[in-house]
Amino acid sequence: MKKTTTATYTIIIVSILFLINILISRWVFRIDLTQEKRFTLSASTKKLVRELKDPVYFKIYLESKNFPTDIQHYRNSIKYHLDVLKAYAGSNIQYQFVDPSENKDLQIRLAKEGMIDSYIDQKDELSAPTPVNYFPALSATYRGREVFYKLVKGQGKRSEKMLNAEQNLEYDFSAVIKMLQNDSKPQIAFLRGQGELEFKYMQDLKNMLRENYDISEVDLRTGNPIPLTVSALIVMKPQYKFSERVKYEIDQYLMNGGNIIWCIDPIAADFSNNDSLAFSLNLNLKDMFLKYGFRINENLVQDLRSCGKIFLTPRNGTEPTAVPVTYYPKIVLFPNHPTVSNLVVVNTFFASSVDTVNHDPDVRKTPVLITSPYSRAKGQPIIITIQKALQPPTPDELKQFTTSKIIGLALEGKFSSVFENRQPPLDSLAKNPPKANMLTKGKYARMLVIGDGDIVLNKPLPNGTMQPVPKDNLMLIKNTLDWMTLDEEMIALRGKMVRIRLLDTAKIKKNKTLIQVSNVVLPILMVILLGIGYHQVRKKRFAR
């Protein structure tokens, strides 16, 4: 009878465990105890992977036993994230980690695709630092289509880049899957014809954007319209006057729901050895900007509290010294807006202030780049020299540094045409009238206005190289294009914050011996004490 009961209980327990195993395999149940819910997928990502019709094959090129700890940690985070995706997508998410060091042809291909990065390897304090190339990237294949995607981007310390990459894991993998599902990337166009920055002076920006966007150029002087396939137009530091026909084509692109990024210097200003006056460029854009609800002022913003620095070499030939320049405002406080999501500091150079005008209930305006309260806007005439810029403000001038200034403004809504009640313009280059009918009230569109044309400039250095652009300056443009071209769910993923709690390396070095002893000796002592306690309990129990 007892044997029968035992066998019955055994069968029941095995059956229950079997049913639990089936339920676990079909339903995903996880408890995320992190404060920022870093291990919880958004509803849009779950839907995206659940609706996959065929498998997506990922190859992640981060497999090596010689990687530093932070890269190994990032590699493990990728694996965990893929396992979470696989839990929702089943066999439609497949992956493997690949070591490119074993395949020279693969290394060459990844380098050509721009997937290469490097870090400094220093095994101990006595060894010489050695630069090491690695490939923080992946390739993904879906229905015969393959894309490459770089995971760790930008310049700066490796720990900071790894932190940003780990924050963006969900966005990166979702973006790759959407790229595979779409026939083409969103198209962005840079305006040409008015002396705008050439690509050779925007290499950092171009390299960043080409992973997610198809990049083209448009010249509107002959009256050709901007193709409606262009998701966003970028106007980067024009130098010459806009003709009315070029303005018309830009205006109608906006009316048709096109998005625009304006990076404008209304006055020409730069440091020179001799005294030089900042002068107006007279771009002929004032009436257009006023109609859309903003104005870029012909001034230069100075910030006493938060500003960039330049390096000056003293005449005695000593080391260069970093000297603050008030004409280089640094933006460090940001509103809750997708264009400035996760930014830490944006550097500006000879920036002009932006004002909002003509309240329009159909247009929403959000200041996104704002200087510190210890700022002023200096109007013309302005003498621009290094010597004058380094002079401290006089007591009378100090009284003027009392208000914050807007340098960047985001606008969204239905704009009104500046050509309302006007005929489409003709000129010597654009002799034919537009083929499409003129729209006077626009479809929903978005704009970013920045009173600085040098915000993503790769400035040539005396040694022939290009000065890198600050990482957050590039991310400002990238965030804005995402805001203009992605759906709301993907925009939310771009703004997801994951706080990585890093170890204090200084304390680790200082208390290295104590930490090692604590981790080795304390567990052994605890086991011994628990054994002694258990022995004493048994001794008292059976002594009766």
Q: What whole-number distance in Å separates Cα of residue 323 and Cα of residue 396? A: 23
Query: Which of 3.40.30.10, 3.90.170.10, 3.40.50.150, 3.50.50.60 would CATH assign to domain 35-179?
Result: 3.40.30.10
- Report whether 169 contacts 78 (CB < 8 A): yes
With cut-offs at 50, 70 and 90, classify the pLDDT of residue 343: confident
Q: What whole-number distance in Å separates Cα of residue 289 and Cα of residue 420? A: 14
Q: Which range (184-188, 292-296, 397-401) has the least confidence?
A: 397-401
Tens-place pLDDT, residues 523-542? 888 888 888 887 777 777 76
With cut-offs at 50, 70 and 90, classify the pLDDT of residue 35: low
> Count of CB atoms within 10 A of residue 196's CB?
20
Residue 531: the pLDDT is 83
Tens-place pLDDT, residues 365-415? 999 999 999 999 988 777 777 777 677 787 877 888 889 999 999 999 999
Q: Which of 50-54, 178-182, 306-310, 501-505 has the highest mean pLDDT?
A: 50-54
Average pLDDT, integer, range 315-341: 83
> Is residue 409 packed enough to be buried (19+ CB in 10 Å), middle (13-18) or exposed (0-12)?
buried
Residue 309: the pLDDT is 81
Residue 322: the pLDDT is 75
- Report whether 443 contacts 255 (CB < 8 A): yes
Tens-place pLDDT, residues 41-72? 788 888 888 989 999 999 999 888 888 888 88
- Is residue 291 over pLDDT 80? yes
Which of 207, 146, 115 is closest to 478 using CA atoms?
Answer: 207
Average pLDDT, integer, range 189-194: 96
Average pLDDT of the chain, as a whole number: 85
With cut-offs at 50, 70 and 90, classify the pLDDT of residue 543: low
pTM of the predicted model as reported, rounded to 2 decimal places: 0.75
- Is residue 116 over pLDDT 90? no
Percent of the chain with pLDDT over 90: 41
- Is residue 459 over pLDDT 70? yes
Residue 483: the pLDDT is 92
**DSSP string computed for 124-193:** SSSSPPEEEEE--EEEEEETTEEEEEESS-SSS-HHHHHHHHHHTHHHHHHHHHHHHHSSSPPEEEEEES
Q: Report which of residues 518 and 24 the model is more confident about.
A: 518
- Is residue 424 over pLDDT 80? yes
Region for 102 from its dihedrals, namely left if φ exceeds 0, alpha if ψ lies in -120 to 50, beta otherwise: alpha
CATH for 184-494 is 3.40.50
Residue 328: the pLDDT is 92
Residue 126: the pLDDT is 58
Average pLDDT, integer, range 113-140: 76
Residue 370: the pLDDT is 96
Residue 273: the pLDDT is 60
Residue 452: the pLDDT is 96
Average pLDDT, integer, range 210-223: 91
- What residues does each domain of the chain span? 1-30, 35-179, 184-494
* Residue in this structure with the two tokens 């008030």, named with its chain if needed: 326
